[in-house]
Amino acid sequence: MTLAAELSYVYPRPNRVRLLLQRFAATRAGAWWFAKTLAPMDRALGRLSNGRLTVPALLAGLPVLVLTSTGRKSGLARRTHLIAVPVNGTLALLGTNFGQPRTPAWVLNLEAEPRATVTHHGVTRAVVARPASDREREQVLAAAATVYGGYLKYQQRITGRTLRIFLLEPAPSD
């Protein structure tokens, strides 16, 4: 069974309202707003719903997984809500940071320590994140465009840094 299947990670077809919200999130203003507000809104909604709901899933129909990585400086567990892209049975993570100039901290954490866990709908799996090859990057970007149009817009706005893309593979059993 593949990682995406094990986590039941699928994209539902968005309705018109959710498509409009996704389009707004892809704009400069929307991306800036969500970059600043999404994490605190998600934490609040998670507390209110006992972890059953996330803002992207509720408003935009985008499935969210929780990446738990190791902080590169602190060594502490760091939880980040991310949208993953299913590709060839696994999941890819794109370090777009809503097209903002800074590389997201979770990317730097995975580069320092690629072992992590991902959780979706109460199912947790240990994974190892590896950078996508050039060929895989093309596949991931093509798949990302079909899932959420904002990824292409974010990529166009990223300057001064490389968009990092990771593929998640099941961690070997010890």
Cα separation, 98 vs 28, whole angstroms: 9
Q: Which two tokens stand for residue 104?
A: 């997201």
**pLDDT value at residue 97:** 92
Question: Which of 112, 53, 116, 114 has its CA nearest to residue 80?
Answer: 116
**pLDDT value at residue 82:** 93
Reported confidence tier of residue 174, pLDDT bands at 50, 70, 90: low
Domains of the chain: 3-170 (2.30.110.10)
Give the number of other CB atoms < 10 A from CB of residue 48. 10
**pLDDT value at residue 14:** 85
Q: How many residues does the chain have?
A: 174
What is the 3-state secondary structure of the chain?
Answer: CCHHHHCCCCCCCCCHHHHHHHHHHHCHHHHHHHHHHHHHHHHHHHHHCCCCCCHHHHHHCCCCEEEEEECCCCCCEEEEEECCEEECCEEEEECCHHHCCCCCHHHHHHHHCCEEEEEECCEEEEEEEEECCHHHHHHHHHHHHHHCCHHHHHHHHCCCCCCCEEEEEECCCC
Q: Encode pLDDT of 77-128 as tens digits.
A: 999 999 999 998 899 999 999 998 899 999 999 999 999 999 998 899 999 9
Question: Which of 82, 110, 113 has its CA nearest to residue 96?
Answer: 82
Which pTM was predicted? 0.90
% residues pLDDT > 70 (the chain) = 99
**pLDDT value at residue 61:** 86
**Mean pLDDT across the chain, nearest whole number?**
91
End-to-end CA gap in the chain: 19
Q: Encode pLDDT of 142-153 as tens digits.
A: 999 888 888 888
Residue 148: CB partners within 8 Å, gap ≥ 6? 22, 26, 62, 83
Q: Encode pLDDT of 152-167 as tens digits.
A: 889 889 888 999 999 9
